[in-house]
A and B are shown apart, each in its own frame.
Chain A
Amino acid sequence: MPPTASSSSSSRHRALGLTDDEYELILERLGREPNGVELAMLSLMWSEHCAYKHSRKLLRRLPTDGPHLLMGPGENAGAVDVGNGLAVAFKVESHNHPSAVEPFQGAATGVGGILRDVFAVGARPIAVLDSLRFGEPAESARSRYLLERVVAGIGHYGNSIGVPTVGGEIYFERSYEQNCLVNAMCLGIAPHARLTRAAAAGPGNVLVLLGALTGRDGIGGASVLASAELGEGDEAKRPSVQIGDPFAEKKLLECCLELLDRELLVSLQDLGAAGLTSSASEMASKGGVGLDIDVSRVPLREEDMEPFEIMVSESQERMLCVVEPERVGAVIDVCEKWETLATPIGCVTDSGQVRVLDHGVAVGELAVEVLVDDCPLYDLDPAPPENPAALYPPVDARLSGAESPAEILLELLRSPNIASRRPVFEQYDPIVQSRTVRRPDAADAAVLMLGDGGAIGVSIDGSGRRVACDPRAGAAEAVYECSANLACVGAEPLGLTNCLNFGNPEKPHVAWQLTEAVDGMAEACEALGVPVVGGNVSLYNEAPTGPIFPTPVVGMVGALPSAERAGQLGFAAPGDAIALVGYFEHSLVGSELAKLRGEAPTGSLPGLDGTLLRDLHAAVRDAVRSGAVSSCHDIAEGGLTVALAECCLAGDLGASVELAAAGEPGLFGEAPGCAFVVSGPAERLEAAGLPRLHVIGQVGGDSLSLTAGNLELNLAVSDMRVARDGGLAKLV
């Protein structure tokens, strides 16, 4: 098509983030120029955030089916069967860019958004987890500020709405200095019958908007922000910050669940990025119908809003539902009870179009197909970095290499990546709803009772530094580590969700990281037989200095037959034997010790045999469930020595351990997902059928003493506690 579009419209589409080719495609599909309302809607629906332009093809590589699967990717949250007619729905989502702009509100609304995704499918949220990444706190006041405000924001929303924050993870690396990561995961439970899909259906049915008034929040906000690199000019994007109101969401949540329990709704959908535009398009697309929306009926917080503003507003705490006409009255009654606004704003049609009306007059009309399906999907152009060591310059060394094992251990325990997370998790309420059997610090995964005697375990993991070394193995490791964490509490994996946080995918080395990571994740999921039930992608996390560490964050949910038998990580009783279990390959690549010694994140990680690991995790899980082991902990950051120290600290007991000469890689090398430290009565441990079990010591006393060939250390538990407790406490 010749470049006939007027210059004004061509500059308009560029300002809205559409490429010239994309705009040409729109002209072709529409056979005309879009008006302002339509262009605003299209630019958002065709943004990276909504259309997954650079990731959708890759995501097809992830296995999405499994024996327990009830709802896979494509719905607001995925869901798995946990028995007794109960389903667990869960999803992880990023709110990285909004949190970089306004950390408190950004993080708070991130939690609000993921909660809505979960109750949109009819599940009552029962837990939140958060996965956070910041720059080096010791060198960056901004990172400390972001940490403080993000944690406060997550706590503010989760605590106020009465959903426990039961776990999470935090890492500090320089590559996140300009692009912090704030990923939040939510889990909910529902009777199978209440699980709800978003597909609109039944021409003539009424479209009802629930919840908050619509204001100018986030206009040109999240969707556009999430699709462009945050540069020097991020000040300009500021006026559209969304403010979270957990009180409004609490009422909305109770209201929606009551509406579903009373079977008053045909379908339900949250309003997130791109507001009404995205919700309406998705609902229409999934149901193969059209929708008419009259923006003049949308209740506004500010009187003079334009139709396009109403269509793209990202005001929080709103939901959209489809209701049969004769039930609208009943819906409004339930909403009135919960002091939640309910406004019919349109209807389902068989036109296949999203029609926007203003006082009955059409102001925009777009085929659902064009909005949802026609955005081009791009192939990536992956190539490994030419000089991997230059990609992520190391931080200054804090250890020279001359230190004793005891000095190394204390420095590791003080490291912000390993130190006690108590200063953070004490700001969260992990116990509301009375389900939490394992709180933070008590075990490798959180454990929640379901009320029918059963329980679930949940863990969230993803070490960007290891993925930076070796994207394929590192991403697989994140999956294995989650599974290992579940094994530690006796839980069998049912499904996983993930958030892919990466740099600019148009750059070949980032495309390579992304491709490798997705492949690694897919391989691990296949090996474990765990389906991906959903997730989220956050790209363009890139500063002038380069991309963030490639950071796939994995959240995994598993089932336990009984909460009574949930595993713990602390040593339980003096006299218990301590054993090393599994496949522990000694290597310092990607380890915290390597970082403290100022080494760049390069080198390949041990390739893991997924089948062996699946059997290993099954054996560990069985040993936890049968009570053969009294404590169980996987060997992750800081290696075996830190794992032993953590078991001592959690149980407030000492230990004496003797290892074959293994050198520093044996003491401080990391093996996430591959190896465990367990304890229990010796004869029970040895009879438990655990692969590669080596008894290495005994629980007792009030210090950790360890010898390995010519290396040895002896530290009082109380000294280790001071080191570990102080690491973060002085930063937050």
Chain B
Amino acid sequence: MKFGVIRFPGSCDEVDALDAAARIGEAVILWHRDRDLQGVDAVIVPGGFSYGDYLRVGAIARFAPVMEEVAEFARAGGLVLGICNGFQVLCEARLLPGALLPNTSLRFVCRQVSVEVARAGTPFTGACAVGQHLSIPVKHTSGRFYAPEPELDRLDSGGQVLLRYAPGENPNGSLRDIAGVCNETGNVFGLMPHPEHAVDRLTGSTDGLKIFESMRAHAADRVLV
């Protein structure tokens, strides 16, 4: 399993994502100006403040040359995981539904939160059980997931909501407590919590590893098929 982690100018959590992925498989950095995805099995769009988050979170990064390749890769069914700023970039790039608005508190918030697995058995939650709680930190200023009501209904009925903040844990005012959603085909997933910051008992919890393990299992299955 080979993960590729994109580095934009202003990425901050790309090394954390690289190290987390390297616990599960091989992991390489993909430079924002390069169009070569180096044959990776999955792309991680990491957290941070790509392009300073200026104008609107994720708005400028989605035009980086590498993102054209990521869009192509996603269309071909490749696994793409967007974490925090990466989630925002994927929404801006229309690879994921919805948008991430400023937290209702209007403040940056870093907090260990409990998220509930809303759907298991996907490429990103295969190693989890429905209803399972994962302890994973969030840290962002714009994490309030928004989509128009009909779209939210579609996401719910289509099983695209994979993670929700546990009751009382919603840190940002996300509609329907949505913490992470995938696209219709299930191969692109974005979430505000940082699973790469929950991979070591010493620095917090290890619950985030479940996401990376799920991706590895999925990739392994695909190779077998």
Direct contact of A and B (CB under 8 A): yes
User: Which A residues are within 8 Å of any B CB, using their own CB?
Assistant: 152, 155-156, 159-162, 245-248, 250-251, 338-339, 425-437, 449, 563-564
Q: Is the CB of B108 within 8 A of A159?
A: yes
Residue interface bits B1-24, CB-to-A below 8 A is 1, else 0: 000000001111101100110000
Contacts of A429 in B (CB 8 A): 108, 110, 139
Question: Which residues of chain B are within 8 angstroms of A250 by Cβ–Cβ distance?
Answer: 9-10, 12, 49
List residues of chain A with CB within 8 A of the CB of B16. Answer: 432-434
Q: Which residue, of B12, B109, B197, has the highest number of chain A Cβ atoms within 10 A?
A: B12
Interchain CB contact under 8 A, A160 and B202? no
Contacts of B49 in A (CB 8 A): 159-162, 246-247, 250
30 interchain pairs, CB-CB under 8 A: A152-B108, A156-B108, A160-B49, A161-B12, A162-B11, A247-B10, A247-B49, A247-B54, A248-B52, A250-B12, A251-B9, A251-B10, A425-B110, A427-B108, A427-B109, A428-B110, A429-B108, A431-B110, A431-B139, A431-B194, A433-B15, A434-B16, A434-B20, A434-B197, A434-B200, A435-B203, A437-B202, A437-B203, A449-B203, A563-B202
- Contact indicator A162/B9 (Cβ below 8 Å): no
CA distance A339 to B197 in the complex (A): 28
A155 to B11, CA, bound (A): 16
Contacts of A251 in B (CB 8 A): 9-10
Bound complex: CA A250 to CA B51 (Å) = 10
Interface of A is mostly: mixed
A431 to B200, CA, bound (A): 12
Q: Is B156 an interface residue (CB 8 A)?
A: no
Choose one: B52, B107, B196; the contact of A246 (CB below 8 Å): B52
Minimum CB–CB distance for A730 against chain B, Å: 15
**Chain B 130-142 against A: per-residue CB contact (8 Å), 1 yes, 0 no?**
0000000101000
B121 part of interface (Cβ distance < 8 Å): no
Residues on B with beta carbons closer than 8 Å to the beta carbon of A433: 15-16
Please give the distance in Å from B100's CB to the nearest CB on chain A: 16
In Å, the complex CA distance between A519 and B100 comes to 54
B residues in contact with A431, CB < 8 Å: 110, 137, 139, 194, 197, 203-204
B9, B19, B137, B139: the one contacting A159 at CB < 8 Å is B139
A426 x B110 contact (CB < 8 A):
yes
Contact status of A162 and B203, CB under 8 A, knowing A431-B110, A434-B19: no
Cα(A427)–Cα(B102), bound, Å:
14
CB distance from B43 to the nearest CB of A (A): 20
Q: Does B48 contact A (CB under 8 A)?
A: yes
B77-111 interface (Cβ within 8 A of A)? 107-111
* B53 on the A face (CB < 8 A): yes
Number of B residues with CB within 8 Å of any CB on chain A: 29
Bound CA span A160–B108, Å:
11
- Interface 1/0 per residue, B104-127 and A, CB below 8 Å: 000111110000000000000000
A-B contact count (CB 8 A): 82
**Inter-subunit contact A449/B202 (CB<8 Å):** yes
Q: Is the interface of B mostly helix, strand, loop or mixed?
A: mixed
Whether B9 contacts A338 by the Cβ 8 Å rule is yes
Q: How far is the CA of A156 from the CA of B140 in the complex (A)?
A: 11
Known: A431-B194, A437-B202. 17 other contacts (CB 8 A): A159-B108, A159-B139, A247-B49, A247-B52, A248-B52, A250-B9, A250-B12, A251-B10, A428-B110, A429-B108, A431-B110, A431-B203, A432-B13, A432-B139, A433-B15, A434-B20, A434-B200
Residue of B whose beta carbon sits closest to that of A425: B110
- In the assembled complex, the CB of A669 is this many whole angstroms from the nearest CB of chain B, namely 35
Q: Which of A155, A246, A449 contacts B108, CB < 8 Å?
A: A155
Q: Which of A155, A247, A250, A429 has the most CB of B within 10 A?
A: A429
B70 to chain A, nearest CB (A): 20
Most central of A161, A246, A426, A430 by chain B CB within 10 Å: A426
Q: Which chain B residues border A434 with CB–CB below 8 Å?
A: 15-16, 19-20, 196-197, 200, 203
Bound together, the chains give a CA A433 to CA B47 distance in angstroms of 11
B109 nearest in chain A by CB position? A426
- Asked if B52 and A160 sit within 8 Å, CB to CB, the answer is yes
Q: For residue A339, which residues in chain B have a CB less than 8 angstroms away from its CB? A: 9
Residues on A with C-beta less than 8 A from B194 are: 431
The 0/1 profile, CB within 8 Å of A marked 1, for residues 34-60 of chain B is: 000000000000001101111000000
Which residue on chain A has the smallest CB distance to residue B51? A247
Nearest Cβ in chain B — how far from A189, in angstroms? Answer: 14
Interface string of B175-215 (1 = CB under 8 A from A): 00000000000000000001011001011100000000000
- When distances are taken between beta carbons in the complex, the residues of chain B under 8 Å from A152 are 107-108
Complex-state Cα separation, A49 to B71, whole angstroms: 53
